[in-house]
Chains A and B, each alone.
Chain A
Amino acid sequence: EPEVTQTPSHQVTQMGQEVILRCVPISNHLYFYWYRQILGQKVEFLVSFYNNEISEKSEIFDDQFSVERPDGSNFTLKIRSTKLEDSAMYFCARQQGSNYNSPLHFGNGTRLTVT
């Protein structure tokens, strides 16, 4: 079983709508990440989040995207106005240990379908 739980497992939305994807880590960690995998393509880094701040983001992570940890537990990815090309699997990940160099463990993902 993955050590992070993502909800929902599948989200269908219409183009232009806002979506919020959620990640609940089982244990208390400071480093979190979002990755994306478009069908048939490679897993891509979106953003890293440390101590309630974005520490690094990719060129994919434009103004349509935002992340936050609103209640100190859940970690969310918001897409403000979805586009067809946002259809993908979105994975939340956390460090294996407390060291930022330790490898990542991924959740089972949220499949986002934009129609």
Chain B
Amino acid sequence: QKEVEQDPGPLSVPEGAIVSLNCTYSNSAFQYFMWYRQYSRKGPELLMYTYSSGNKEDGRFTAQVDKSSKYISLFIRDSQPSDSATYLCAMSEINTGTASKLTFGTGTRLQVTL
């Protein structure tokens, strides 16, 4: 079983739709959870960051973490064509020295159409 699993997509939605992106993980030591957005030939751009179960909202983005199920989600409301990108989940353990050793999912490619 892979440490972090993420559906690669592609996921195509119409403009204005609510998008749900998900990752599952197997390592119960993961305590920090991040979502990055990556445009073609660019570096990952940090969108959301959380270390607790529950929801965290920032504008049109909501990150959700369920540690008991080892499942995280990113919701995008009112999706725009500019949201078209690959979305990467990433996570890390809490121990000293490993907090920034991120384990990434494969990324989900999102296409928002007009």
Contact = CB atoms under 8 A, between A and B. Distances in A.
B55 interface: no
Contacts, number: 65
Contact of B100 (A2, A100, A107): A100
Interface in A59-82: none
A112 to B, nearest CB: 13
Interface in A35-73: 35, 41-45, 48, 55-56, 58
A64 B57 CA distance: 43
Contacts of A95: 100
B43 to A, nearest CB: 4
A109 interface: yes
Question: Interface centre among A42, A45, A105, A111, by most B CB within 10 Å?
Answer: A42
Interface residues of B, number: 25
Interface string B86-114: 00101000101111111111110000000
A48 B106 contact: no
A111 B41 contact: yes
A42 B107 CA distance: 7
Contacts of A91: 43-44
Given A101-B32, A103-B34, A33 B44 contact: no
A43 B44 contact: yes
Contacts of A31: 100
Interface of A: 2, 31, 33, 35, 41-45, 48, 55-56, 58, 89, 91, 93, 95-96, 100-101, 103-109, 111
B78 interface: no
A33 B98 CA distance: 12
A44 B104 contact: yes
Nearest to A45: B101
A46 to B, nearest CB: 10
B42 interface: yes
Given A45-B101, A105-B46, A106-B44, 7 more contacts: A41-B106, A43-B90, A43-B102, A43-B104, A89-B41, A91-B44, A93-B100
